[in-house]
Structure formats: C-alpha cells, structure tokens
Amino acid sequence: MARPKGSARAPMLIEPPTPATGVLSSFDFMPTLSPSLMLMARETEQTRQSTDDLIALLDAADRLPGAEELRSLSYDLLGVGSGMSVVDVGCGAGRAVAELSERDVKAVGVDPSERMIAIARGRWPEADFRIAGAYDLPLPDSSVNGYRADKVFHELAEPERALAEARRVLTPGGRIVLFGQDWDTFIIDSDDPALTRTIMHARADMTTSPRAARRYRSLLLDACFGNVTVEVHTGVFTGPAMLPLLTGLAEGACTSGLVTRVQTDSWIAEQRARAEADPSFPGHADVHGNGDRTPVRWWPPCTTTSPGDAGSGR
C-alpha cells in the first residue's frame, strides 16, 4: 500500500545535529510531575497547580530550537490534508490540535486531565477538546484518518491496549504516528558521571514505560499495523534552556532517596554553572514510529482482517 502524500520519507537510524540544519528534538518536560497525578476524577488544588506548572514547562519546550519542526514532521508523516480527521492523544494544552485545524484538518484533542482540557479550550475556543485517556477514546469505530501521540506512550502501562484502541478508531488505511523519547538514551555532561547516571536511572525507573520508544516498531507490528517505519533524531541543547528539566531530574532522584540533598545541590550548581558558560550538553534520542492501519497477514498476531484492509509485509 502506498504511503500518503507528504509522509514518504526514507527511514534513517540516526540524524546527527548539524549547525546548518539545526536540531529536531522532543523531550519530556515532566521531571517531577507525573501525569498520573492528573488522572483523578476530582482534581484537588494541588493537582491543579501541578497541571499549571506542567503547562508552563511544556510551553517552554515548544519554544526550544527544533520543536516546531518536529511537530510539523509529525503532520507530514500523518499525510495530513484538507478534510482529513485526526485524533491527538494526550493533547495537553492543545497546540498541535490548533495547528492541525489551521491546515483544514478536523482535529480532536483528548487528554485525561480536566484542568489540561480547560486550558486548551481557553486557548483555542474553536477547537474540539475532550476529556479521555488513550485506552477509551470518545470516538466511533473507523472514524478518523490519523492518530497522533506525542510524549504519551512512556506513561502507559499497557501500550498494546492503547494501540488496539487506535486501530478501532482509525479507518482502514489510516495513519498512526507516535513520538517519544527513550529515557535510557538521555545523556548529560558532568564532572561526576556516576552521580549523573544515578540521577538519570532514577528518572527512568520512576517512569511507567521508560523504554517504550525503542519498542515502537514491534508494538506497531504486533498491533497489526503495516508499512511500519521508525526514525531516530538526536536532540542537543546548550545554555540555560534545559535547566528546569535538569533541576527536576535531580530533585526527583533526591525525593526518591537515591541521592542526598548535598549531592543534589552540588549537581544542580554544576549544571547551572555549565549553562551560564554555555557548555551544557544534555541530549537524548527522540524516536518516532509510524504505520498504516493495515494488518500484516502472515505475522502471527495478525491472523484476522477487517473489511477494507489490505495485506502488507513486515
């Protein structure tokens, strides 16, 4: 099956950043604020403040070099065009939904946080936002042409269940695009590599599925999506842009008891000094996987087909 116009990109393993092209990057600005705090039916004042803090961090992430280009890449991989319908799962404050709407796409944003959806509706009153999680989308069967999830699957305990729901709502031949980071690929320059490793492993261990991104290909194939490709981009940052994230990483490790207060303060002070001198070097691998709602007939999990589906190769 041919890939939709605008998404025919040659898969690559690594795209190193260069001064000429800039850096495509995406990362999780949720160092100490787990989205699970925002899944309660009744949001307390504490979770309201947590959501507002998270939104501020996500807004900062959107202003970093390469962020806009990465979102645009996700739209190209979806093959968006006038009249298409797309669901953005884990839409947050709604920027992607608004940008898709500007492209004459019928976009629906879903997020489990009532507060997050309220903010999104306030910012983009003409857009369609709904309170829902990845496991139970408020959409009929075969109702959307595209499914997008950015920085979502590392927080899901059952990614297979989310992908089954994605297949349910996608039309035959519809496109799915997953963006996210692998938390075991995060690298930070430091004078104390052992302490840095402890801090990074602590953050990964506090994440529900820290290595979900490296599984995108297998997850998509096992969920019977076809024409699956995976690309990896590296993100490199200098200066103070990443200090909020680095501070949150260290504080999270301290809260978990894996590092002491003295170690935390010392590490943060070092990173702050590096940022002020501009040699700070945090980086990570950002992964995106995409495919078509087309079963791989001979791949063991995909022994059944739906009306309108066509075969594809692994």
Please give the pLDDT value at position 114: 92
Residue with more model confidence, 174 or 309: 174
E strand or H helix at 286, and its extent?
A: strand 282-292
210 closest CA partner among 249, 253, 282, 157:
157
Q: Per-residue confidence at 36, pLDDT binned at 50, 70, 90?
A: very low
Q: Which two tokens stand for residue 44?
A: 């307390």
* Mean pLDDT calculated for residue range 253-269: 92
- Reply yes or no on whether the pLDDT at 6 is more than 70: no
* pLDDT tens track for 106-140: 999 999 999 999 999 999 999 999 999 999 999 99
Quick check: is 111 in a domain? yes
- Residue 90 belongs to some domain of the structure: yes
Strand pairing report for 282-292 and 187-188 = antiparallel
Does the pLDDT of residue 30 top 70, yes or no?
A: no
134 part of a folded domain: yes
Q: For the chain, what is the domain count? A: 1
**312 touches 292 (CB < 8 A):** yes
Q: How far apart are CA 162 and CA 158, in angstroms?
A: 7
* pLDDT above 60: residue 306: no
Residue at 308 is within a domain:
no
Mean pLDDT of 57-69: 74
Task: Say how far apart CA 67 and CA 73 lie, in whole Å.
Answer: 10
d(CA 277, CA 283): 17
The CB density around residue 100, as the number of other CB atoms within 10 Å, is 26
Establish if 3 belongs to a structural domain.
no
CATH code, domain carrying 152? 3.40.50.150
pLDDT at 243: 82
How much is the average pLDDT of 153-157? 89
Q: What sections of 190-260 are H helices per DSSP?
A: 193-205, 216-222, 243-255
Residue 288 pLDDT: 55
* CA 288 – CA 182 distance, rounded (Å): 10
Nearest by Cα to 272 from 236, 237, 247:
247
- Which token pair is 220? 């998509």
Q: Does 257 fall in a domain?
A: no
Q: Which domain holds residue 156?
A: 35-182+210-236+287-292
Q: Residue 292 in 3-state DSSP?
A: strand
Task: Give the number of other CB atoms < 10 A from CB of residue 253.
Answer: 26
**Tens digit of pLDDT for each residue in 190-227?**
899 999 989 888 877 777 777 888 889 999 999 999 88
